Amino acid sequence: MSAVAEKADTKDQPVKQVKKPEASSAEGTKKLSGKELKELKKLEKAAKRAASKEASGITPEEQKQIAEQKKQKAKEAAAAAAAAAQAHATNTNLKKQLNQTLIKDKAAQKKIPALFSHLETREQRNASSPSISHIVHPEILTLTLKYSTYKIVGSMPRLTAMMKAFKIVIRDYETPANTTLTRNLTGHLSHQIEYLKSARPLSISMGNAIRWLKQEISVISIDTSDEMAKEILCEKINDFIREKIELSDQLIIQYASKHITEGSTILTFGHSQVLEELFKYCAREQGKKFNLIIVDSRPLFEGKKLLHNLIDTTIGDDTYGQVPITKDHIRVQYTLVYSLSSTILEDVDCIFVGAAAMLSNGRLYSRVGTGLIAMMAHSRNIPVLTCCESIKFSDKVQLDSVTTNELADSDDLAQDQDLKKPPQKKSFALEQFLKAKKEAASDETNNNNSTNTNKNKQQQQKQKQQQQQKDEENKADEEPDVPLKDWRTTPNLNILNIMYDLTPPEYINKVVTELGALPPSSVPVILREYKNT
Amino acid sequence: MSSFNITEAYLKFLEDDPDLTMPIAAIESLVTMLRVKQPSTSSELINLVKSNIEVLKSSISNAISLSAGCDLFMRFVLRNTNLYSDWESCKKNLVENGELFVQRAKESRFKSAEFGIPFIKDDDTILVHSFSRVVYQLLLLSKKEKMIRFRVIVTESRPTGKGYHMAKLLQEAGIPVELIVDNAVGFVLHKVDKILVGAEGVAESGGIINHIGSYQIGCLAKANNKPFYVATESHKFVRLFPLSPNDLPEEINKLIASQVPSESNTDVALNTPLIDFTPHEYITALITDLGVLTPSAVSEELIKMWYD
């Protein structure tokens, strides 16, 4: 019953809102909170549009004008529609208009090769991010910041962190009046996810996990008390982390460790959580001695992280003292992908690469550079193995790494080597906050200016001067002479910094999953057999 | 009761019935072991099966297909102990189903052979490597029942010389046979229409573990664009995934190597492996009792077998 009613609401609402926005919002608070949410969503959308426009260079004034025009148009249209009782057509028409303006603006602004122009840049992601930070849980805000600064990187760490954050979100969640947890929590989570996406797009494993969680929420009986339901969900998330991540990794390590034999030479690329554990396991638990070549790449230098973590891992007992595993057990060689030439690959027995996703046509979607290494290994008949939890399996089919990919910040590439600082990024929420603060401040000064005495003015001038000085100092600090400093304004200069690439199945010998080792051609079998369970 | 020896039972089964393959003999001896030992709890049962499998695997050389049978039975036991709440009925069921299992496995050879008949045509020249019961059954069936006229070239299959056995059997069946040394495979290949081999075990990737020399024949077949068929039974699917022809469990190859009779008239001892692994890309199709499979379908069957 109520579902039908809601549907009817959605149909009517656009018209209603244009006609009498105050009335509908007032109504919303009184009545259904589902409606409230819809309102929120609408506001978000509006904010998104505004933000994206701003990002594409339209000033707030212009925007206001446009908005005014649109409102008028919409009003006229709505009036006409109401008269003709054709609310639907106008609604879609309006949307179309909006979309058209959006696309044009975007195309003018992009600074990446045209082939990749369909991918979302960081600016666009931020622009399209809803200004809903007031309903986003602090835990998610923190997580978003960690994602965007690559503090948490790699498919599995990201997934684990997200699930843990969701647990806290669920624990702190309170069902609004007149609705149930089963129906409302999914929406609440969607807001969090929406915000999370402003840092980086969701990975395949995160998408799979979110789908699972929403399914779990929806099957909770409506009679369950909120406390109980939250308890159940948290328990389920715990089980999920244990089963799909921790235990899976253990099994994968067991299977994969057979390929690391005493005295063999293993090559790995970048950093993968499960591979790090694998190397540690082989050295500490099995006492194997082997050579490890860590191949790394710009700009993330994830291999350094692996190296660091391996050096930090110790072996031995307290009586004889702890020594790092890299001392006696793993002889590490660290190199960049560019030097991956003849001599390095000469005596490699086996190559282990991580995975971001396994696609159903057997292709491996992984950190950019993996394909290159796999092909190189194939030409030398070196087996390439990938360790991939089944949560990363996707039923998607992709033939190239252009259609779907992730654009990282071009600044990461433009930055110079001499600049020792790691890529600095502000969180979107922080940017918003700063902007709001600035606006408030300027408003205040304006007000003060009109009413205050000379004395105050002088003070303000002094302050301003100080501020300017400070700004200049900061500028000098921030911008040394970097060759690509002006890449944003240089015409015809595009920078491409993509995150992933696709490795064809011919170049992968084995996929090690917690269900056993498989050839890449068997990925669809796993998907088929396990989709139902 | 305690004097039951699994290895002896296994060898006796093989001796009594020369047609019996190793995995079936293994399963049969395990079922017999259960009947004799009468374990009283499920954990005792599982431990018993486990320890016996271990004994069997370590004492028998060339344990690839044997381990396939053992693993299959182990899985069968684990699944069934969970299925029944009542211990007595569970035990009874296990023994009964075990026998049924053996029965079915025995029939699978004939099924495989039947699926393979359409592959043999009049005027074919077929290259056969080593001795395989399924291949023999398939050729016999084509000759006797379908009256297909074809020629067979059999390799000598050193160092075991199993090819002589195969050639003899085929000759007795009235099939024209030619015996060649292993080194002559390349020489005869261009007039061969198809290649037919058996398998000790089928790995997860769809590659096969077979008598030494299969890999080189596979490579030659690929280079000459000749179809390379493998006739085998589905209970020989093993949960192994070698990466290269010599990437086989060490214990297995060691036991085999020591078995080879050394040539007395040379100073250098002959030390050769007896089995190798042929990767899936060299195999055209697998003729099994489940039907004709592409190599990639093997892992599908294995996954179904192990995780349904």
Q: How far is CA A306 from the centre of its chain?
A: 22
d(CA A63, CA A152): 36
Residue in B with minimal Cα distance to A384: B243
Residue A55, pLDDT score: 52
Residue A25, pLDDT score: 43
Nearest CB partner across the interface for A525, out of B205, B206, B299: B299
Q: Averaged over A172-178, what is the pLDDT?
A: 87
Phi, psi angles (nearest 5°) of residue A256: -75, -25
Task: Give the pLDDT band of residue A49 (cuts 50, 70, 90).
Answer: low
d(CA B90, CA B101): 16
Average pLDDT, chain A: 78
Q: Averaged over B57-71, what is the pLDDT?
A: 79
Residue in A with minimal Cα distance to B206: A519
Q: Kindly report the CATH number assigned to the domain that includes residue A520.
A: 3.40.50.10470
Nearest CB partner across the interface for A529, out of B241, B296, B304: B304
CATH superfamily of domain region B113-307: Translation initiation factor eif-2b; domain 2 (3.40.50.10470)
pLDDT in tens, A191-203: 899 888 888 899 9
Has residue A87 been placed in a domain? yes
Query: To the nearest whole percent, how much of chain A has pLDDT over 90?
Result: 35
Residue A15, pLDDT score: 43
Least confident of A56-65, A364-373, B242-251, B286-295: A56-65
CA distances from A349 to A292, A313, B118, B218 (A): 10, 24, 42, 23
Cβ–Cβ < 8 Å for A352, A386: yes
pLDDT in tens, A456-507: 556 666 666 666 666 555 554 555 566 777 777 888 888 888 999 999 999 9
The structure tokens listed for B187 are: 């020489």
Say how many CB pairs under 8 Å bridge A and B. 44
A350 contacts in chain B (CB < 8 Å): 243
A529 contacts in chain B (CB < 8 Å): 303-304, 307-308
H or E, element range at A314: strand A314-315
Residue A470, pLDDT score: 60
Task: Give the pLDDT band of residue B30 (cuts 50, 70, 90).
Answer: confident
The secondary structure of A457-479 as a DSSP string is: HHHHHHHHHHHHHHHHHHHHHH-
A525 contacts in chain B (CB < 8 Å): 299-300, 303
Determine contact: A519 vs chain B, CB below 8 A.
yes
Q: What is the Cβ-side half-sphere exposure of residue A486, based on CA atoms within 13 angstroms?
A: 5
Domain that holds residue A3: 1-109
| Residue carrying structure tokens 């299992």 | B101
End-to-end CA distance of chain A: 31
Task: Region of A365 please: left (phi>0), alpha (psi -120 to 50) or beta.
Answer: beta
Average pLDDT, chain B: 85
d(CA A533, CA B308): 10
H or E, element range at A513: strand A510-513
Contact B241 A383 (CB under 8 A): no
pLDDT in tens, B96-139: 877 887 888 888 989 999 999 999 999 999 999 999 999 999 99
pLDDT in tens, A143-168: 998 998 888 999 999 999 999 999 99
Contact A529 B241 (CB under 8 A): no
Cα of A164 to nearest chain B Cα, Å: 29
- Of A400, A388, A392, the residue nearest A519 (C-alpha): A388
B245 contacts in chain A (CB < 8 Å): none
Cα of B206 to nearest chain A Cα, Å: 9
Residue A428, pLDDT score: 65
- Those of residues 362-391 in A touching chain B at CB distance below 8 A are 383, 385
Task: Give the pLDDT band of residue A60 (cuts 50, 70, 90).
Answer: low
Contact A522 B241 (CB under 8 A): no
Cα of B78 to nearest chain A Cα, Å: 17
Task: Give the pLDDT band of residue A351 (cuts 50, 70, 90).
Answer: very high
Residue in A with minimal Cα distance to B249: A258
Where does a domain end: A74, A109, A144? A109
pLDDT in tens, A420-455: 555 555 666 677 777 888 888 887 776 665 555 555
User: What would the CATH number be for the domain defined by B6-106?
Assistant: 1.20.120
Selected residue with higher pLDDT from A293 and B82: A293
d(CA B163, CA B179): 8
Nearest CB partner across the interface for A526, out of B206, B303, B308: B303
SS3 assignment for chain B: CCCCCHHHHHHHHHHHCCCCCHHHHHHHHHHHHHHHHCCCCHHHHHHHHHHHHHHHHHHCCCCHHHHHHHHHHHHHHHHHHHHCCCHHHHHHHHHHHHHHHHHHHHHHHHHHHHHHHHHCCCCEEEEEECCCHHHHHHHHHHHHCCCCCEEEEEECCCCCCHHHHHHHHHHHCCCCEEEECHHHHHHHHHHCCEEEECCCEECCCCCEEEECCHHHHHHHHHHCCCCEEEECCHHHECCCCCCCCCCCCHHHHHHHHHHCCCCCCCCCCCCCCCEEEECHHHCCEEEECCEEECHHHHHHHHHHHHHC
pLDDT higher than threshold 60 for residue A251: yes
d(CA B165, CA B168): 5
Has residue A367 been placed in a domain? yes
Has residue A242 been placed in a domain? no
Nearest CB partner across the interface for B307, out of A509, A517, A529: A529
Task: Give the pLDDT band of residue A288 (cuts 50, 70, 90).
Answer: very high
B306 contacts in chain A (CB < 8 Å): 516
Task: Give the pLDDT band of residue A282 (cuts 50, 70, 90).
Answer: very high
Contact residues for A286 (Cβ-Cβ < 8 A; gap 6+): A257
Task: Give the pLDDT band of residue B228 (cuts 50, 70, 90).
Answer: very high
Least confident of A197-211, A516-530, B160-174, B274-288: A516-530
Contact B299 A529 (CB under 8 A): no
- Give the strand order in the sheet containing B275-278: B201-202, B208-211, B275-278
Cα of A385 to nearest chain B Cα, Å: 10
Selected residue with higher pLDDT from B41 and A61: B41
- Those of residues 233-252 in A touching chain B at CB distance below 8 A are none
Mutate to test the interface with B, among A390, A521, A528, A529 (most CBs of B within 10 A): A521
Where does a domain end: A78, A109, A140? A109
H or E, element range at A516: strand A516-518
d(CA A188, CA A169): 9
The structural domains of chain B, with segments of one domain joined by +, span 6-106, 113-307
Has residue A505 been placed in a domain? yes
Residue A20, pLDDT score: 44
Contact B241 A510 (CB under 8 A): yes
Query: To the nearest whole percent, how much of chain A has pLDDT over 70?
Result: 67
- Residues of B within an 8 Å Cβ radius of A: 204-206, 239, 241, 243-244, 280, 296, 299-300, 302-304, 306-308
Contact A383 B304 (CB under 8 A): no
Cα of B268 to nearest chain A Cα, Å: 28
Cα of A362 to nearest chain B Cα, Å: 11
Where does a domain end: A90, A109, A128? A109
B244 contacts in chain A (CB < 8 Å): 383
Has residue A139 been placed in a domain? no
Contact A525 B303 (CB under 8 A): yes
Mutate to test the interface with A, among B240, B277, B296 (most CBs of A within 10 A): B296
Residue A104, pLDDT score: 44
Nearest CB partner across the interface for B303, out of A350, A385, A529: A529
H or E, element range at A446: helix A428-451
**Count: domains in chain A:** 2
Cβ–Cβ < 8 Å for B7, B25: no
Residue A525, pLDDT score: 85
B206 contacts in chain A (CB < 8 Å): 519
Has residue A15 been placed in a domain? yes
pLDDT in tens, A71-127: 666 565 555 544 444 444 444 454 454 444 444 444 446 678 888 888 888 777 776
| Residue carrying structure tokens 């229409």 | B193
Residue A116, pLDDT score: 86
Cα of B296 to nearest chain A Cα, Å: 6
Q: List b or e across B87-105, with b for residues whose CB sees 16 or more CB atoms inside 10 angstroms.
A: eeebbeebeeebeebbeeb
Count of other CB atoms within 10 angstroms of residue A454: 7
Task: Give the pLDDT band of residue B293 (cuts 50, 70, 90).
Answer: very high
